[in-house]
Amino acid sequence: MTRRPSDPASVAAGVIAVAAVTLVYARGLQASNGATVSTAFLMLVLVVTSVARWPHRFTGSLCAAGVVAALAATAAGCARPPQTALVRLLEARRLSADLLVQFSAATDAANRAVMADTDDASMAFAREADGASAGIQYDSEALAPILRDLSFLEESRLLEEFGRQFTEYRGLDRSVLDLAVENTNVKAQRLSFGPAQNAVDGFRESLAPLTAGDETGQVAALVATAMASVREIQVLQAPHIAESDDTAMSRLEQRMAAAQTATRNALASLGDLVAPASRPQLEAATAALDRFAALNTEIVALSRRNTNVRSLALTLGQKQALVAACEETLRSLQAALSKRGFAATR
DSSP 226-272: HHHHHHHHHHHHHHHHH---HHHHHHHHHHHHHHHHHHHHHHHHHHH
Write out pLDDT tens, residues 117-141: 788 888 999 999 999 999 999 999 9
Q: How far is residue 319's CA from residue 225's CA, in Å, rounded to a whole number?
A: 48
Asked whether the beta carbons of 7 and 56 are under 8 A apart, the reply is no
- pLDDT of 30 higher than 70: no
Q: Nearest to residue 270, comparing CAs of 212, 228, 210, 216?
A: 210
Question: How much of the chain, in percent, has pLDDT values that exceed 70?
Answer: 74
Number of H helices, E strands in the chain: 13, 0
Write out pLDDT tens, residues 207-242: 999 888 776 788 999 999 999 999 999 999 999 999
H or E stretch at 197:
helix 195-207
Write out pLDDT tens, residues 104-114: 999 999 999 88
Write out pLDDT tens, residues 159-210: 999 999 999 999 999 989 888 888 899 999 999 999 999 999 999 999 999 8
Domain ranges across the chain: 8-78, 85-181+311-338, 185-305
**Polymer length in residues for the chain:** 346
